[in-house]
């Protein structure tokens, strides 16, 4: 298992399919194309890629089911029709394991289906076939932390395979059996925990160590990477998402640090707040907000993030209001809501969370869309006991959060502090219909003096919110990025 897990970690950092980053071809060889043959003028030479044009090997990670599209391609227009048949063939994996000294296990053939009997073709004068869909299904019996292989044999007619190899391997992880994070109370969806991590100090993998005893579910539902920034480039006149070296390292190495959280059912969300210039969550003109929302979408698309957490702080509000810079307005509730609206329009299926502070304390209707449609969740600042639904018209109670913790300060932190319990009640939040609670600056470093109190109160939260017992595996992932 250790060998396989280590192999998986290295492959995950290198190989991705269906929107993931491409492999580093120098790290692993699985029957790759010989470019000399590809460029040969004699005869038809074909090879296999996924939909993104990536070849040599594929990688699929799925829950329940997944469809991967493969293509037969040529580097030049083929002469005559080139047809090929893909078949599941264990001998392809046997040869690979023998040649590379690995022991990658076989993904069961009964869970793999090849459309059209595995047949595809490149028409004369074309460079590519139509997609051949490979469907993967699950019965939840496979180890979700093991990488398996689907070995395919490619039998081509009227062509030779590039590199002389007719084998193609798809690496597969079936994460269906992970219990997920969706928790319940009395048969109804339970409150959700938003963990905000200062990633300059805390490795997000540390959120994985907290699970429920009875259900096996993760304690955290949403993990916020805190934080990227909104900044203004005076040379280009563009407002953009800036990321320090720690945030960028996590995004660049998402297979190591972020995908394991998503595998286990947690949503990974990027925090965005001001950064000491005039650009901020609440200072963009309508046109600037729309352009910035597209920038945000591009970041989420590129790094497969589940959403955005907006925080209105650390902006030079005076500069924005001065009129010296086009594209900016005086800080306002309307500008903050406008940005949320544009982000929601740009990516309606992703999460959008408002930290109810400064101009985000109140939401307003934008272009006929009320706040309940713009935001998925609105969470209170520390000590704020008012109900977010009172300043966010249309927001449902189960979208509102109160009782936020600040794990960096005992005086304004956790239920272990009497000042907290005088203001909030965990069972009261649940009974009043609140849907979420934020834990800011979460950490569980064993050397941190507050860790025992934080873990204890997480256990109390698990019992009061979901009637379950917290399990903590006592693991600690250091900041190694």
Cβ contacts of residue 5 below 8 Å, gap of 6+?
A: 145, 146
Burial environment of residue 406 by CB neighbours within 10 A (0 to 12, 13 to 18, 19 or more): buried
Q: What are the Cα distances from residue 474, in Å, to 5, 125, 205, 321, 444?
A: 20, 61, 13, 49, 9
Token output for 307: 């959403």
Partnered with residue 349 across adjacent β-strands are none
Query: What span, in angstroms and rounded, lies between the C-alpha atoms of 291 and 327?
Result: 11
58: which 2 tokens? 């594929």
- Exposure of 115 by Cβ count < 10 A (0-12 exposed, 13-18 middle, 19+ buried)? middle
List b or e across 146-183, with b for residues whose CB sees 16 or more CB atoms inside 10 angstroms: bbbbbbbbbebebbbbbbebbbbbbbbbbbbbbebbeb
The Cα–Cα gap between 271 and 308 comes to: 6
Which candidate, 145, 63, 149, places its Cα nearest to that of 100? 149
Q: Find all residues with CB under 8 Å of 116, minimum gap 6, and list them.
A: 132
Q: Catalytic residue numbers?
A: 313
CB atoms within 10 A of CB 249: 17
> Assign residue 474 a region: left if phi > 0, alpha if psi is -120 to 50, beta otherwise?
left
Closest to 263 in 3D by CA, of 306, 212, 200, 201 = 306
């Amino acid at each position: 298992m250790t060998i396989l897990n280590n192999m998986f970690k290295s492959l995950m950092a290198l190989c991705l399919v269906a929107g993931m980053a491409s492999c580093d071809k120098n790290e692993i060889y699985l029957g790759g194309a010989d470019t000399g043959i590809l460029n040969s003028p004699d005869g038809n030479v074909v090879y296999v890629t996924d939909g993104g044009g990536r070849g040599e090997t594929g990688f699929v990670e799925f829950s329940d089911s997944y469809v991967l599209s493969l293509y037969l391609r040529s580097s030049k227009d083929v002469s005559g029709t080139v047809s090929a048949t893909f078949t599941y063939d264990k001998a392809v994996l046997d040869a690979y394991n023998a040649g590379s000294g690995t022991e990658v296990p076989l993904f069961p053939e009964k869970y793999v289906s090849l459309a059209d009997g595995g047949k595809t073709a490149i028409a004369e004068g074309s460079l590519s076939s139509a997609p051949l869909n490979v469907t993967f299904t699950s019965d939840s019996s496979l180890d979700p932390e093991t990488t398996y292989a689907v070995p395919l044999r490619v039998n081509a007619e009227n062509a030779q395979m590039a590199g002389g190899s007719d084998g193609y391997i798809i690496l597969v992880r079936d994460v269906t059996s992970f219990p997920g994070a969706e928790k319940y109370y009395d048969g109804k969806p339970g409150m959700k925990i938003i963990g905000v991590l200062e990633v300059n100090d805390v490795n997000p993998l540390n959120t994985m160590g907290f699970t429920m005893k009875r259900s096996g579910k993760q304690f955290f539902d949403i993990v916020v990477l805190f934080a990227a920034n909104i900044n203004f480039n005076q040379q280009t006149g563009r407002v953009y998402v800036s990321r320090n070296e720690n945030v960028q390292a996590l995004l660049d190495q998402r297979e190591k640090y972020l995908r394991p959280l998503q595998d286990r059912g947690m949503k990974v969300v990027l925090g965005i707040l001001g950064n000491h210039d005039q650009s901020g969550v609440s200072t963009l003109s309508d046109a600037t907000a729309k352009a910035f929302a597209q920038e945000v979408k591009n970041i989420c698309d590129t790094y497969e993030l589940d959403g955005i957490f907006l925080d209105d702080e650390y902006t030079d509000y005076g500069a924005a209001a001065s009129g010296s810079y086009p594209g900016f307005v005086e800080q306002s509730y309307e500008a903050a809501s406008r940005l949320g609206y544009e982000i929601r329009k740009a990516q309606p299926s992703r999460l959008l969370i408002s930290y109810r502070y400064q101009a985000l304390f109140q939401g307003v209707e934008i272009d006929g869309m009320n706040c309940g449609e713009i935001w998925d969740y609105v969470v209170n600042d520390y000590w704020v006991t008012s109900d977010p639904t009172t300043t966010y018209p249309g927001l449902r109670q189960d979208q509102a959060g109160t009782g936020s913790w600040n794990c960096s300060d005992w005086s304004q932190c956790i239920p272990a502090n009497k000042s907290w319990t005088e203001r909030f009640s965990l069972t009261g939040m649940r009974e009043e219909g609140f849907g979420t609670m934020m834990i800011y600056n979460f950490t569980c470093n064993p050397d941190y003096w507050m860790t025992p109190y934080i873990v204890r109160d997480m256990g109390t939260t698990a019992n009061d919110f979901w009637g379950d017992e917290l399990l903590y595996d006592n693991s600690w992932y250091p900041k190694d990025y």
